[in-house]
Amino acid sequence: MAPKPPRFTSDVYDSFPDDDKVKIVQLQAAGLSYSGVGDRHVVIQWYNATNVTQLIQLSGNPGNYAFYSPWGRSEPAFKLNDTFYTLGEFTRAQRDIILVLADAVRFEKSSTVNSCRTWTRDLLEAMVQDGLLSQEIFDKIDQEVPLLKRRPEV
């Protein structure tokens, strides 16, 4: 998949693009647990190089969301204060399908009721429907993160 123009000054995707290796894809959830108060950012990622991760996420905050993909982050993905869930090992073709599914997930840029956890839930559900993710892994992430169900916009 051809990269889109960078949107972040820290974007290193052009220097470290995806390759044809089979890679472990993970969901990273901010924090070691969720208190139920406020939001909890989530991102789907895999390594394109040592200490360079490719990210799939809904960026922004309530009222100002955007989807930029693909983009890379030049820093370790492992953070002691975050929780990681392995989605599985994926070929390049499968990762490209994930990017296509992510691009198809609808979101309202100005939403104040649906967040990145809602968007990610929709993406993971699409991955389950496409046979890329097991229902068991989805259910574990849905319960533990937790993911949010889409609500009507106000």
| pTM summary value | 0.87
The string of pLDDT tens digits covering residues 9-50 is: 677 888 888 999 999 999 999 999 999 888 899 999 999 988
Residue range of the domain that includes 82: 23-144
Q: Does residue 106 form part of some domain?
A: yes
Domain contains 65: yes
| Range ranked top by mean pLDDT from 27-31, 67-71, 114-118, 138-142 | 138-142
Residue 138's H or E segment, with its range, is: helix 135-144
Instruction: With respect to residue 97, please indicate whether it lies within any of the assigned structural domains.
Output: yes
149 inside domain: no
pLDDT (average), residues 134-139: 99
| Predicted local distance difference test score (pLDDT) of residue 79 | 72
% helix, strand, coil for the chain, step of 5: 25, 25, 50
Examine residue 62 and state whether it is found in any structural domain, yes or no: yes
Whether 110 is in a domain gets the answer yes
> Largest Cα–Cα distance in the chain?
43
Whose structure tokens read 């009507």? 152
Domain count, the chain: 1
d(CA 72, CA 80): 20
Q: Is position 44 within any domain?
A: yes
Gap between the Cα atoms of 136 and 33, Å rounded: 20
pLDDT of residue 75 exceeding 90: no
Residue of 75, 85, 82 whose CA lies nearest to 49? 75
pLDDT at 4: 53
- Give domain status of residue 109, yes or no: yes
